Chain A
Amino acid sequence: MTVKAKFYKSGVKPIWCPGCGHYSVLNAVTKALAVLEIAPENCVLVSGIGCSSRLPAYVNSYGFHGVHGRALPVATGLKVARPDLTVIALGGDGDGFSIGGNHFLHACRRNVNLVYIAMDNEVYGMTKGQASPTTPESWEHSKLTPHGPGVRPFQPCSIALAAGASFIARSHSGDPNGMANMIYEAIQHRGFAFVHALSQCITFCPEQVQWKDWVHDEAVTTADAGEAAHFLQNEDGFSKGIFYRCDRAPWPVVRGENQSITTMRAGFAV
């Protein structure tokens, strides 16, 4: 590696709390970019709203910090219009699976060649600790849902598989090197690459410090969706690894030109 990860840091000081998992994700992203030696001007990080969505400002590359839930559409438009760029969308569990849930489904099935890193801490941190779609049913620490959300948590990897993502992986902020490697693989993948990044919020969910003891490397990478589905339906949500990777042509298919502007006008003539 001739380029140092540090080269990809912008120098803007993160707003994150001490102990936040997102610092590791930031390190993993910059490390993957360094390993691949992607020129900073050719890389764009796109995000929505939330603590994790602040990440683009901390990276020495182009960035787009949009509105809540819409990182994937912005990234999709950018990548379709500018296929020469490396486009990485990222954000939190609320941004991606609640307000942006529909875009997640369609980004998976559309299979545009971009990376999506969902930094999942099972909580809305920026608005001070409300339950998110991935919060456990009985989590009673939010004044908004004092008896717990009472709703089965969203299963990001299973849903990504069902929706048609061609690369599905999970990593943990306690293992920044493993995560850097996962992001490296995701960038290299041709198609929509989903990285479920468990990234603890010890401010609102101090119990998440235990995640480092719960995660385990068991996943076997498969290109068989049935096999991956069986695995994901039976694991505990803390398996790490690339669960599914298949070779499916990314969208859009590049077509040659077949008309000129004069042909466009000719259609109006009577």
Chain B
Amino acid sequence: MVSLGEMLLCAAAKIGYFGLMRKSFGPQIRGGESAAIIRLGTQPITNFTAEIQVLFALDWHNFLRFQDEIPISEATLVIADTQAGVAPSSIASIVTLDLTGAANTVGGARANSVLLGMLGAWLGCSADVLSEVIHERLVKLDSSALAQAVMAMEQGIQQWEQRPAVLTRLATLPPERDTSVEPVPRWLASGNQLAGLGALETGVKFVAAYPITPASDCLEWMAQHMESVQGQLVQAEDELAAINMVIGAAYGGVPAMTATSGPGLSLMTEAMGLAVASETPVVVLNVMRGGPSTGIPTKSEQSDLNIALYGLHGDAPHLVLAPLSIADCFLTMSWAVFLSHHLQTLAIVLSDQFMGQSLQIMDALPGSPFQLTFEEATLMTPYQRYQDTVTGVSVVAHPGDIGGMYTADGLEHSENGVPSPKASDHLQQLEKRQRKLQQFDFGAYWGNSRGEEGEWLLLCFGSLYGALLEARQSLVDQGINTKVIGLRLLQPFPRESFLASCGSTRQILVIEQNHQAQLFHYLNSLALPGLKFSSLAQPGPSMITPEQIVADVLQRMETSAQEIGDDSKG
């Protein structure tokens, strides 16, 4: 189903649609039942809504496992293959089509190819476009299997042309596109791939990692491209090894990163503290999934914020960043590589399964504004690796640099790197490491915002930003001015920029995909003057939808209006 979804998305892109596809797998990761949820439009699409308009079922087996994520209402048009098996009793009305029968007329072809033809024709794709997609995407098939897939696809086009009257409603669904202009070549990419691209284009030349869902496909994409940057990727024996290998490479002056998910991040936390103490630049991409423990490995959640902020032992200032969309995985990862290199410390990037593994049709991305520069260091004599400076950043020597010999150390040390248990050295180095983050000007990249100030401000981090933007538009359409902020920089908290962006709005609704309202509690701990935070927190894998946000805001406005009314009566 997922590969069919990818082909359909690809075909839609070729005729000028934007779109988004979420993949949903069963818990067993390696294969089996899967669902592809697609939304198409004429503007870039970054999120889903609460509504499923059409559902195509090729196999009802284990459908119940997805039921929470695929909300079928009476308005949903449900279409199933004759061979799909027994449908859930909760679905009242189903249109049955003989896709398998159509596939059987061309020998060994599968119903998927027939469905591709039917859906492609429904969107307005020609047989040529769909044939091109089949040839581009099914590269592993031999020529006779490809020919069969094309014939089955053509059967699907016929199915659409001879559709029963009950499907007439379907024809009105695709958003109208301007067919007079030639479609612009676009990209089809996932957040995991774009995070990899951002890292490599900014200068990462070493990756070490241990396979883990849902981060592995970032690593697999990077593995294909490491040679083009003359870099190396090591599959480590475990996450402890992975993070320490990355530290070793970075100590050698080679920009390095790893990618993991919750359980792996937990294993890496000790060595992440080493990166902070030894001032070694390291980037850890954490693609969040349902936790704790093994949790729900294949599905999205935003519940690793606490471990990213607070997981390290000791006083260990470090960077925590989060991309705000699939496309933003590129920029945020690039920024993280730049910041960690410049500030000689750890950067944790919190992506999530939703943006990591969803595929989006988007305009081609421009290059990153962040590039690493390598100047030959002027080393003082005698060299002091951990010199206490105004900015907190000290000159780093790398192996090979004459006169820079020092031993990097996780033990507390004095300015020259020699281990020291002295209170004065400890305080000096703690303050130096903190100052690096406090003094740095993070500029305009700390977050994204949109809209004019209103009674409420909607705030989030990560992939929810798209849903917030759509909710905002809906509120504005109802005459309710609402501003939206998405935080790209979570730590150090961009206090001044954030307060300035809030303007005169005092009521802030913090929206997040976890059970404990981690971002809400973090914001409350910062003692931001005059701001009142409220929380909309919901664990994964059910995604918070724009409709949900709008309903929540309207409810809160009604409640506060009532309270004001009650007060005036009193």
Contacts and interface: CB of A to CB of B under 8 A. Distances in A.
Interface string A249-270: 0001001111111011100111
Nearest to A64: B408
Contacts of A70: 240-241, 244, 271
B464 interface: no
A41 B274 contact: no
B178 interface: no
A86 B339 CA distance: 29
A268 B234 contact: no
Contact of B237 (A103, A255, A265): A103
B337 interface: no
A102 B232 CA distance: 22
Contact of A269 (B187, B406, B419): B187
B399 A66 contact: no
A57 interface: yes
Interface in A40-85: 40-46, 54, 56-57, 60-67, 69-70, 72-82, 84-85
Interface in B214-245: 225, 227-230, 232, 234, 236-238, 240-245
A259 B256 contact: no
B248 A64 contact: yes
How many interface residues does chain B have, given as a range? Answer: 35 or more
A12 interface: yes
Contact of B206 (A12, A65, A80, A261): A80
Given A62-B399, A270-B188, A259 B251 contact: no
Contacts of B205: 81
A258 B400 CA distance: 28
Contacts of B408: 63-65
Contact of B271 (A67, A72, A269): A67
B14 interface: yes
Nearest to A42: B400
Given A57-B418, A81-B254, A73 B241 contact: yes
What is the interface of chain B mostly: helix, strand, loop, or mixed? mixed
A123 B541 CA distance: 49
B232 A74 contact: no
Contacts of B243: 73
B121 to A, nearest CB: 19
Contact of A268 (B273, B364, B403): B364
Interface in B190-210: 193, 197, 200-201, 205-206, 208
Contact of B193 (A43, A268, A269): A268
B71 interface: no
A63 B229 contact: no
Given A67-B410, A78-B249, A258 B186 contact: no
B256 A77 contact: yes
A106 interface: yes
A45 B242 CA distance: 19
Contact of A82 (B201, B247, B252, B274): B252
A135 B331 CA distance: 52
Interface in B475-525: none
Interface of A: 10, 12, 40-46, 54, 56-57, 60-67, 69-70, 72-82, 84-85, 102-103, 105-106, 252, 255-261, 263-265, 268-270
Given A41-B405, A77-B256, 15 more contacts: A66-B274, A67-B270, A73-B240, A74-B247, A77-B206, A77-B246, A78-B249, A102-B237, A103-B237, A264-B200, A265-B197, A268-B193, A269-B186, A270-B10, A270-B361
